[in-house]
Amino acid sequence: MVARTAREILRWLESLYLTYPIVVPKWDLSNGYAYAEILHAYFPNEISMFTYLNGRSLNSRLSNWSLIKQFIARKKIPISNEFIDATVHGKDGGAERLLEQTYELFTNKKAYIDPTNERTDDFTDYSYQRNLHNFERAHTSKSLKNNLKVTELITDPSDAYRTKKSADILYQSKLDREKSRVDNPDRFDIKPTLAERCLRKPLRPDSTAQDWYIKSFDSRSRSATSTTVKSNSFKQQSRETSADVLKKSSMSQHHNDKGLIQADDNNLFYKEIVLKQHSVPLSDLMQINQS
């Protein structure tokens, strides 16, 4: 997982005639010795290379970068400590961001960065993983290994830090899996749910909310009428004795006397009640359309 460095920065590094050329910034800048040489090229009388150790151990890294941080603070050079910490631990994109910021400060120029190789501020391998195929991407345990370095756990051994970092990495890997499932439904054989299949169709561009309201009102009225017709036909087809028929007719007459309305398609008042029960206020639809 090698992040690309701008060509202007590579030319700038070659012009400094460093003792050890920077080929892969992620590894060549981790111990701080090469970065101390960059500072020595601009401040030869204030940076002594004899005080820096060219080693790979964690103690050599922390010792060199502590001296560099003291010099940066004394000279008031606006170098980000986040970039330095990411470079010490070998995080993805940390050394490249540090070189870009140093190049801009010392040369007063801005390097061109390809938009396809933009790096995130959280120093993870997300930009690298998204360019791979689904079967090439890292799984959960590999994501933890790539984004949580051993040196981070040594320098900050608190359980709260480990828990937070692990939870963030696991949550990001979960989001990546969900996104890959949404982007490639055929690969995972995802079938739409019942709620997704029952969604209403959107309004056509040439129609308005009032037109939709009138059409839906007519369809609801037809459905309500068909329901009453079916219920009446079912009642007529049911086999009932004459005594039960007389009993029910007397009960319906008794209810009518109390003021109840009997289901009858020829009754206009009954039709109006059914339509009102299945209708939606037009003002609500107009407010939704306006918003």
Residues 134-185 have pLDDT tens digits of: 778 888 888 888 888 888 888 887 888 888 888 888 888 888 888 888 888 7
Query: Of residues 190 and 102, which shows the higher confidence score?
Result: 102
- pLDDT for 113-142, tens place per residue? 776 666 666 777 777 777 788 778 888 888
State which amino acid sits at residue 95.
A
pLDDT band at 41; cut points 50, 70, 90: very high
- Cα–Cα distance for residue pair 257/253, rounded to 1 Å: 6
User: What are all long-range contacts of 36-39, with beta carbons under 8 Å and residues at least 24 apart?
Assistant: 36/64, 36/67, 36/68, 38/13, 38/102, 39/68, 39/71
Q: Which of 58-67, 100-109, 132-141, 163-172 has the weakest average pLDDT?
A: 132-141
The answer to whether the CB of 208 falls within 8 A of the CB of 287 is: no
193-229: pLDDT as tens digits: 777 777 666 556 555 655 655 665 555 555 555 555 5
- Break the chain into its structural domains and give their ranges: 7-117, 126-188, 209-290
Q: What is the pTM of this model?
A: 0.59
CATH 3.90.79.10 holds for 7-117: no
